[in-house]
Structure 1
Amino acid sequence: RITCHFLLRKEKLPSTSVQERLVSYRKYCYSAMPPNVLKTDLLHSSSSSLNGNALPTDLEDVWVCPASEKSLRTANPIRAIVDPIVSKSIKSGAERGDGKDQISLALGDPTVFGNLPPCPAAIEAITETLKMGGAMATGYVNACGTPEARAAIAESHGAGATADNVIVASGCSGALELALTALLDADSILLVPSPGFPLYSVIAKSHGAKVEYYDLLPDSGWECDLVQMDQLITRLNIIDGHNRSMQESTCGSRSPTQVVRGIVVNNPGNPTGSNYSAHHLRNILKLAHKHHIPIVSDEIYGDIVFDPNCCFSPMAEISARMGKHVPVITASGLGKQYLVPGWRVGWVIFHDNHHGSLKEVEAGAKRLAQVTLGASHLVQCAIPAVLQPKDIMGMLEWKKGLTNTLKHQALFLCGRLTESCHGLTAFCPQGAMYALVKIDVSQFDKNVIYDDMSFMKHLLEEENVFVLPGRAFGMIPSLKQPCYVFRVVYCAPQEILEQAVIRIANFCQLHATTKS
């Protein structure tokens, strides 16, 4: 009873040392107790007991286990923004009374509607392993992965990588966690895209590192703003040079650390649906070479691109063609490209340059891999079967079918949103599974729709259609990017996408300043 009373109170404890917080908490506990609880239940009751003993009467025995500083620094912005709104929503149309069951265009799981079947080669590999009694995949494996899986990954990605440069991880997210943990220190800096997948900043900040955002340009296919990125790095290096000079003068030593430790590039992109040309990737590498900064390339969506004239170009492959001057850390996995996200199997590959710049980082990641032992042995059996399929033509046909389906659904959804929905303009994607939709807030009643959050909130409440606001991906309007957006996922069957468009169109028309 007393514990529940404490937990339900929302007062923040002072941000001080652990010991001081404990003392403050004890004082808070004492002041928070209702008088009848304190006198009757705690001090004078002999019936209340714990393991047969009466509750302690000494307030020094009232204590709390503090959370680690790392856990307190860890927060997912999508959850922080969306959960308070979604928790109040009603998914069932029957409960709502209007028959409108919830349609989610927010969840990045391509398998959730059941219309996109997983890669047959992956299923067959697991099935065959289990048919053999599972003896081949029941034991522990090397912390970096099975030799067969690592070799298949290295051969698939090429660019001079060997099996020894590969670490198999628990999903692409786990691969990024390994790579960034090995790369970053407290107060070091990671450059991440805006808008971009929030995981990069979540991982960096959890380790006490700082995050700086470089812009993506909506009118240029969401390419990186390399002028702004160059200016940002230059400014950070000047600040770092000043700080090092101060340290040298006070401590008599110079720190060997570099302030900007990495540039994250996500291609094909989430939430933008972009696919960068080889030319643009070369320009990114030239900038990284200029400032001696490694690239962390998130390529989880790999070959899911729609334009046959602009194929997917791996960053490490472009770097190799340019002479391997820039080290590239590539993160990928089976989840999205082969439609098995719940299997949680990904990998990180260290493509070093000629100077061995990544040597210590790669060694550090391998030490960190020993903590969790990576993905399960069973799912690793699917990696060679998928990346080195026996039926190559069958695999190519399956991948072509998936890409064509996603392309068709992307064109359908984005076209209908732009044509049918007042005040909305969709950015047609070039790959991945996502698209951003621009909201012209001047076309709506400003008392109802005035930004991306208000649009998302009222659309969910009124039409039970769930989308993610742009600010969940770090996109907040500025003079340079003066637009509000929301993200949609187009993996649902076309009939569901059509129903979502009808509801969104009705919503936009209802709140339009000029009725059509």
Structure 2
Amino acid sequence: MSNEEAHANLVVPAFKTEKVAKTQTQNSQGTVWRFSGTDKAAKASTLTLRGVIYMLFDNCSRDVKKTVLPLGHGDPSVYPCFRTCIEAEDAVVNVLRSGKGNSYAPGAGILPARRAVAEYLNGDLPNKLTADDILLTAGCNQGVEIVFESLARPNANILLPRPVFPNYDARAAYSGLEVRKFDLLPEKEWEIDLQGIEAIADENTVAIVVINPNNPCGNVYSHHHLQKVAETARKLGIMVITDEVYNQTIFGDNPLVPMAKFASIVPVLTLGGISKGWVVPGWKIGWIALNDPEGVFASTNVAQSIRQNLEITPDPSTIIQAALPEILEKTDKSFFAKKNKILKHNVDLVCHWLKDIPCVTCPKKPESCTYLLTKLELSLLEDIKDDTDFCVKLAREENLVFLPGEALGLKNWMRITIGVDAHMLEDALERLKGFCIRHAKKTYIN
């Protein structure tokens, strides 16, 4: 099987030369075309991961005689060991055969699915959600898009963590929201720099984004820390947008504390979905949960704006919406335990290999998500300028693609995807070790 076939659903280089059409505005008969593409998305598109990944794949070569290992972006679903559970598959098949998912759905989503999400999220929340507090989206990314569009107004700014999943930067740029970055502190297990938040916020700040469990750092925040975040947001008069899409992908000792527990302190807008927990990103089903016992989202028209934006955007598949209650209610917890056990094994595998690769270190072993952040000790290497240069040369010499930290806002770091088969990870680490040995600085003893 070729590399392209083995990873048919992943972005991998095809090593083909494509013909590029000439750009013209006038044909041979002299017609002047009065249309052209807009550049509204030009800036936003450069902020996504895809541009970086494409660039790295362009540096891979058939001449290297090694299969391309795409560990720069994550989609565990393409690997058999991460296949979703039978309960989820049966739920979709049942709806498909019943014919109950063939119709249009309301903009906010069908009632049984919204009710099921509310029950799924409620747990031990002090302020319970109802179906009216849930809005369904075509995945968590569309949730980000809808929320940012709903908050965008002249001069508004939003606080994003550094490092961050770059889709947040892209959506903010497209919506016209100014981005202000606060740091996550590696020396404090990637906690949020609360003093930094207060330093960058002003009267035009509308929200702070908290990703928990954190992508890409892999940490899970404590109850005490999240309460401090809520109190800081209330002091500033801003909402908290919390991305909890990795809530079922935790393999460390720290349990998830939903940000919604602090909704009595500050209004909390929770983004989530089944893409990561159930390993089905292609199903495109997510949600926005309005945790707001004081009614702030209603009085400020945020809830209304979100619903209006949902009315003019594509709906998630009605089939998946109709299957969602059964997926959420019937999935056995052993499925998550098995998946997370594989991820923990892969984390341990990487950390074991890194002991013999001094120029690549992992200061904080992740306890969630499907990535591992490493710091590059470039002083130990020759002819490597920065993290992007490191990853470009790694792709060029080894057909191995890791993500440079600069793409996440963290210079001279690197992200390794762990949501792959273990044997693939071992191959990648062996290539990484060989690359670092070749580029290590030579020491001479007189």
Q: What is the TM-score when the length of structure 1 is the normalising length?
A: 0.77
Q: 2:75 aligns with which of 109, 117, 131?
A: 109
SS at structure 1 position matched to 2:105 = coil
CA contact (8 A) 2:148 2:175 kept: no
Structure whose alpha-carbon radius of gyration is higher = 1
* Deviates further, 70-79 or 99-108: 70-79
* Counterpart check, 1:147 vs 2:147: no
The residue that corresponds to 1:137 in the other structure is 101
Moved over 6 A (4+): none
Distance 1:182 1:70 in 2: 18
Q: Which residue in the other structure is 1:300 paired with? A: 245
- Contact 1:423–1:444 (CA<8 Å) still a contact in 2? yes
Deviation at 1:164, TM superposition (A): 0.8
**Equivalent runs, 1:337-416 vs 2, <5 Å:** 337-359=277-299, 360-389=301-330, 395-416=332-353
Aligned to 2:410: 475
Contact 2:92 2:319 in 1 (8 A): yes
Instruction: Map Cα deviations across residues 448-493 of structure 1 (whole Å, 9 max, x no partner).
Output: x1210011001111111100000111123xxxxxxx1110111111
Q: Deviations over 1:213-260 (max 9, x none)?
A: 000111111111111111112xx34xxxxxxxxxxxxxxxxxxxxx10
Distance 1:422 1:500 in 2: 16
Question: Does residue 423 of structure 1 match 2:359?
Answer: yes
Unmatched 5+ stretches in structure 2: 1-19
- Among 417, 427, 432, which residue is 1:499 paired with? 427
Find the residue that maps to 1:175 and give its secondary structure.
helix
In structure 2, relative to structure 1, the CA distance for the partners of 1:386 and 1:76 (3 Å cut) is farther
Matched to 1:260, the amino acid is T
Separation in 2, partners of 1:277, 1:222: 11
Match of 1:204 in 2: 172
Q: Distance in 2 between matches of 1:64 and 1:83?
A: 32
Partner of residue 137, structure 2: 169
> Which of residues 357, 371, 394 in structure 2 aligns to 1:459?
394
User: How far 1:66 moved relative to its partner?
Assistant: 4.0
How many residue pairs were aligned? 418
Alpha-carbon separation, structure 2, partners of 1:69 and 1:261 = 26
> By how many angstroms is 1:442 displaced?
0.2
> 1:57-456 counterparts in 2 under 5 A?
62-68=32-38, 70-77=40-47, 78-90=49-61, 95-96=62-63, 98-132=64-98, 135-158=99-122, 159=125, 160-233=128-201, 236-237=202-203, 259-308=204-253, 310-317=254-261, 319-320=262-263, 324-359=264-299, 360-389=301-330, 395-417=332-354, 419-426=355-362, 427-445=364-382, 447=383, 449-456=384-391
Q: 1:4, CA displacement in angstroms?
A: 4.6
Which SS does the other structure have where 2:41 is aligned? helix
Cα drift, residue 131 of structure 1: 3.1
Alpha carbons 1:186, 1:207 under 8 Å: kept: no
Contact 1:422–1:505 under 8 Å retained in 2: no
* Contact preservation (8 Å) 1:150, 1:168: yes
Aligned match of 2:16: none
Q: Which has the higher contact order (CA 8 A, sep 6+)?
A: 2
Deviation at 1:82, TM superposition (A): 3.7
Q: Distance in 2 between matches of 1:402 and 1:502?
A: 24
Contact preservation (8 Å) 1:345, 1:380: yes
Structure 1 gaps of 5+ residues are: 8-25, 30-41, 43-47, 49-54, 238-258, 477-483
Inter-CA distance 168–355: structure 2 relative to 1 (3 Å threshold): closer
Contact 2:95 2:323 in 1 (8 A): no
Q: TM-score, normalised by structure 2?
A: 0.89
Q: Is the CA contact 2:44–2:169 (under 8 Å) kept in the aligned structure 1?
A: no
Q: Deviation per CA, 1:186-233: give whole Å up to 9, x if none.
A: 321010011001111211111111000000111111111111111112
8 Å CA contact retained: 2:150, 2:309:
yes
Could you tell me whether the CA contact under 8 Å between 2:163 and 2:408 is conserved in 1?
A: yes
SS state at 2:251 partner: coil
CA distance in 2, matches of 1:73, 1:368: 22
Structure 2 CA distance for partners of 1:4 and 1:491, relative to 1, 3 Å:
closer
1:198 is aligned with what amino acid? P
Change (3 A) 1:88 1:504: closer
TM-superposed deviation, 1:355:
4.6
Which has the larger displacement, 297-306 or 77-86? Answer: 77-86
Contact 1:215 1:228 in 2 (8 A): yes
Q: Secondary structure at the match of 1:100?
A: coil
Aligned residues: percent identity?
29
Q: Which amino acid aligns with 1:431?
A: S
In 1, Cα distance between the equivalents of 2:248 and 2:56? 35
The answer as to whether partners of 2:76 and 2:419 remain within 8 angstroms in 1 is yes
